Structure 1
């Protein structure tokens, strides 16, 4: 019985096999209807890329727009070229590059489209479009690249480029595909999800020769792309352009903030480059030049460069000392140069005089009074307690940590605590004489230019700030900016302590920064010189104006230009005048800054 059953099973399988083979023979050899149907029913999916959102300045002037370009796509299975030399001449591509691209396309997929020539301009597309019909397997996909009408704010705005492998791996929503463009830096990266929009898709019928046979199912499955949302930035085009003009040929940073809102009016990172260099077909070549430039134009100095704050930090020391009650406006101390070097000025000085004249020995002594308050009989422990309390107070000013500006790759700077010195020297093995350089903003303390501009905003606001930011509105909607930029941060110092400090900062210009004085505009400011172990010191200046109703707070760093009263103060003063008046009435000072011979 078992043997008969096996024979029946084998015979049944053989009969089924013969039937299937006969059917396949009919389909493939005798009946060509399936072939004709396949030719008719090949469906090609074409991605409909959305227009990226536009970026405007605070006055609704256009900063970034889209420029249409065309990607020439190839389907390797269908692509045929009889005369390679003529093809290369028509499409302006080298033979080796053509072979390289076609080989990569075949490796990706024999039947799916891949880019053959990217970012063809409208002019070049008009020249080649009549020849496309001669080359089966080719079609054009419309894309867009960024363009910049005023060629400013390159580092703040950022750029877009092809998505990288590591970015694709992090794309958990599978929005992107290889070859897509994505924000790589600046606002383009920070607001990628808002700016990018939503892709659509179109399905069309093509035969095996690539001939378009019309839409699939009359477009029932097609989806339209949705353009990205527009962003109104806080940048003021006129101020940004003027600042970049002043910083041309220099290295450093300028950050200007509207104190009452935290809106960044200008963010300049010098050396400056044209953002159009990183848009379009020449991106790869230009990026290589910029990234290998020894002056580091792609380095966003306002949020990534770290410097000692220098004498500007004396204002913070004054405010903390006043709040703690360790010093008061009448506290008078000798300018004892045996403690720390200082320049000549009236001696002794009270707190007002110390700020006005930037007296180093005054702050050496005042800082020691703040740190060593005899909370322990052990000097080492007492210093550790005092430093950690001071560290907590300083951090409230937005120092020692990332501020949360809406840009990627922000540095937090450094405000040392006892942990750092315990690590360097060992616990109980350091005291005030080890850390006294912090009293005048030197030593292990580091800040970014953005943090310094925010200090100027705090001095202007008498004790509070809003996190500096570059977005003012999204698609014109009020209240559309992230909530964190509307939170008021108090620094823990009573407002009345700022009155005398503001007065002293206003008078300081007459002692250390006379070039910064503007007729009929009261400025409160403070010069600084940031020590640079690698060469000439950096010129630093912070200020706000008008003193009684501040509209702008600013920090300027000009690298390797020494004393803050020259390069930095002059630049800041011109920026303030430009913003408040709309024009500059001091051509001689403007010429001085543009020439850049700050030794005179």
Structure 2
């Protein structure tokens, strides 16, 4: 019995040893989880942020490029600082900021990097880089912010900023992380997916002090970032800058479109701002200051401001009436000022004369003929049916809803329906006398400057338009822009109706906007004066030129500047001359607009 005991002990030892060896084999060879955990303590995963795509104007001039900045990252567990006061002096931060940021980083993760100081300029980075080795747990991540060499087209181009928590929650692609930058408005926002590029990842070996010891496994697992796609915008920088100069010190909008393509040549929102203010470390402070500005420079007026169209809408009324068969070129009405006020001109007038002289009583009577067509024995019902039929025709002109431009936050204006008046006055309690102000583009009707410029393009094209858009090509390929911007939209009015309309608009220049005439360039246009209950009326003008072969369609709104034949018409005329001739020779008219004494 005693002789067998050593054998039993040996067997037990052999079994235990075999178990231990097997476990060791599994840990070291089969299961690499411990290896990974060990490596993770020495490997630093660094995201390689791609360069954002560049933006050019239609002639190849650079509008937006990237400027390098640096984020100072911290790994809380490794971070050590002896003299806090000296650290804060070197990095130009307060002790409170250091404590707050470090606490937030530690709360997020003690082993993962978090930003300690964001958006350090190249100058400041050059000053601090030699001190980084003294502080374990710190390293620098290179990023880029936008820079605008031309300081122009701020509202159209938009800006980028740090992604919000709400945007992160909605990011189904999981592309973004807290602290990433994203396009927030304008072209930057709409074309975010094209501009942002693809992130890369680099794995680096670091020692216990966080000092970089080179790539992990010679970069076997690294992936390179892919730069964003470059965009060629439709903007003509020279025209854009000229328009911004003309609108300096004023409030309003200028939108110019190439009629045959829908490409936006200029989009001016006045007052504007230097887009470089919304870049870099001072983004937050500058944004708050601009947002508090009573003149609202961040408000993108061309696509967000809504006004009554005024007399400009008479052209739409004329075309709808012609297509309905209610009007003909020879339809004649007297200028009966007991119906609505008007200015002095010959009476009676036919449709051509009504457009040329902008006769309010003519359109009061013509609109009534369109609305009250005696399709019902009930007067109230007849007006309701007529209004809804008329409205369907007007909506085809791109009014009453957003045109779908490639920018965020576009407003659609309003073309009222019977539903609105039923709510306002009660069903069966309104009739033509309630809504006659719509006949001359007033009342509850609202449009945006972009929609008005698009109307000018429709008149130039004799009945069709391409949705206005800001991008001409993506990565050099014009076929990569969204399909909807290459899809023609017809407004449902026969082309031959536009012949007389164009002739009348050309004559109207000499009737109500003589100062807008350009020698040797035939402009077809229409003035308007949009009523403003809060103050002086707004000056409005739309036009296209040359009449024989339209190259530019334009809408100008100058707020609180009165009659459309002055401020708006003069501005539009100068813009047309600048685009077609590339220079302006009517210096007296230019000075008149720059001074801005229109009333």
TM-score of Structure 1 vs Structure 2, range by shorter chain? over 0.9
Partner-residue secondary structure (3-state), 2:127: helix
Higher alpha-carbon deviation: 331-340 or 93-102? 93-102
Match of 1:302 in 2: 302
TM-superposition CA deviations, 1:109-148 (whole Å, max 9, x none): 1111111111111111111111111111110000000000
Distance apart, 1:405 and its partner CA? 0.5
* Deviation sequence 1:77-119 (CA, Å, 0-9, x none): 1111122222222212122222221121112111111111111
Q: Which residue of structure 1 lines up, in the alignment, with residue 447 of structure 2?
A: 447
Q: What is the Cα deviation at residue 378 of structure 1?
A: 1.1
Please give the alpha-carbon distance, in whole angstroms, between the structure 2 residues aligned to 1:177 and 1:207: 26
Measured in 2, the distance between the counterparts of 1:218 and 1:184 equals: 38
Contact preservation (8 Å) 1:41, 1:207: no
> How far apart are residue 162 of structure 1 and its match?
0.2
Quote how far apart the aligned CAs of 1:278 are: 0.1
SS in 1 for 2:45: strand
CA distance in 2, matches of 1:277, 1:98: 26
For residues 478 and 167 of structure 2, the distance between their equivalents in structure 1, rounded to whole angstroms, comes to 32
Change (3 A) 1:40 1:172: closer
- Deviation digits for residues 1-53 of structure 1 (CA, Å, limit 9, x no counterpart): xxxxxxxxxxx9xxx9xx99xx9xxxxxxxxxx99x94895211000000000
Q: Identify the residue that residue 4 of structure 2 maps to in structure 1.
A: none
Whole-Å separation in 1 of the counterparts to 2:63 and 2:245? 17
How far residue 241 of structure 1 moved from its aligned partner, in angstroms, is 0.5
Match of 1:490 in 2: 490
Give 2:527's aligned residue.
527
CA–CA separation in structure 1 for the residues paired with 2:541 and 2:207? 69
Counterpart in the other structure of 1:406? 406
5+ unaligned residues in a row in structure 1: which ranges?
A: 1-11, 24-33
Confirm whether residue 578 of structure 1 aligns to residue 569 of structure 2: no
1:109 aligned residue: 109
Q: Secondary structure at the match of 1:337?
A: coil
Alignment of 1:57-76 (within 5 A): 57-76=57-76
**1:277-316 equivalences in 2 (<5 Å):** 277-316=277-316
TM-score of the superposition, structure 2-length normalised?
Answer: 0.93
Deviates more, 1:99-108 or 1:501-510: 99-108
How far, CA to CA, are the matches of 2:358 and 2:476 in structure 1?
46
TM-score, length basis structure 1: 0.93
Q: Write the distance in 1 (CA, Å) between the matches of 2:525 and 2:96.
A: 61
Instruction: After TM superposition, list the pairs within 5 Å mapping 1:545-564 onto structure 2.
Output: 545-564=545-564
- 2:27 aligns with none
The 5 A counterparts of 1:73-152 are 73-152=73-152
Cα separation, 2, equivalents of 1:259 and 1:483 = 17
CA distance 1:423–1:41, change in 2 (3 Å): closer
Tell me, yes or no, if the aligned pair for 1:40 and 1:205 is still in contact at 8 Å: no
Quote the residue 1:215 is aligned against.
Answer: 215
The Cα offsets for residues 412-451 of structure 1, whole Å up to 9 and x where unpaired, read as: 1000111111111122111111110000000010000000
Give the direction of change, closer, same or farther, for the CA distance of 1:85–1:343 in structure 2 (3 Å limit): same
CA distance in structure 1 between the partners assigned to 2:58 and 2:442 by the alignment: 36
Distance 2:522 2:582 in 1: 16
CA distance in 2, matches of 1:440, 1:478: 40
* CA–CA distance in structure 1, aligned partners of residues 41 and 80 of structure 2: 22
- Does 1:475 pair with 2:475? yes
Query: Using the alignment, how far apart are the partners of 1:39 and 1:333 within structure 2?
Result: 89
Per the TM alignment, residue 207 of structure 1 is displaced from its structure 2 partner at its CA by 2.5
Q: How does 1:314-333 map to 2 (within 5 A)?
A: 314-333=314-333
2:526 partner SS: strand
Distance 1:285 1:595 in 2: 32
TM superposition shift of 1:478: 3.0
1:311–1:529 contact (8 Å) kept in structure 2: yes
Whether contact under 8 Å (2:133, 2:211) holds in the other structure is: no
Indicate the SS of the match to 1:82.
coil
Which moves more between the two structures, 358-367 or 93-102? 93-102
Q: 1:40, 1:213 within 8 Å by CA — same for their partners in 2?
A: no
- Once the two structures are superposed, residues 200-259 of structure 1 have per-residue CA deviations (whole angstroms, 9 ceiling, x without a partner) of 000111123212222112211110000000011100000000001111111111100000
Offset, 1:329? 0.9
Which stretches of structure 1, 4 residues or more, deviate above 6 A after TM superposition?
A: none
Residue equivalent to 2:228: 228
Q: Distance between the aligned counterparts of 1:39 and 1:230, measured in 2?
A: 39
Cα distance between partner residues in 2 of 1:431 and 1:533: 24
Number of the residue aligned with 2:250: 250
Alignment pair present for 1:373 and 2:373: yes
Contact preservation (8 Å) 1:523, 1:547: yes
Consecutive unaligned residues of structure 2, counting only runs of 5 or more, are 1-11, 24-33
Distance 1:298 1:502 in 2: 36
Q: Which moved more, 1:87-96 or 1:515-524?
A: 87-96
Q: Secondary structure at the match of 2:380?
A: helix
Indicate the SS of the match to 2:560: coil
Residue of structure 2 equivalent to 1:49: 49
- 2:194 aligned with 1:202: no
Hey, what does 1:595 align to over in structure 2?
Answer: 595
Alignment of 1:34-45 (within 5 A): 38=38, 42-45=42-45
State which drifts further: 46-55 or 471-480.
Answer: 471-480
Q: What secondary structure does 1:382 align onto?
A: helix
- What does residue 27 of structure 1 align with? none
Counterpart CA distance in 1 for 2:490 and 2:211 is 67
- State whether residues 529 and 538 of structure 1, in contact with CA within 8 Å, keep that contact through their aligned partners in structure 2: yes
Secondary structure of 2:387's aligned partner: helix
Match in the other structure for 2:26? none
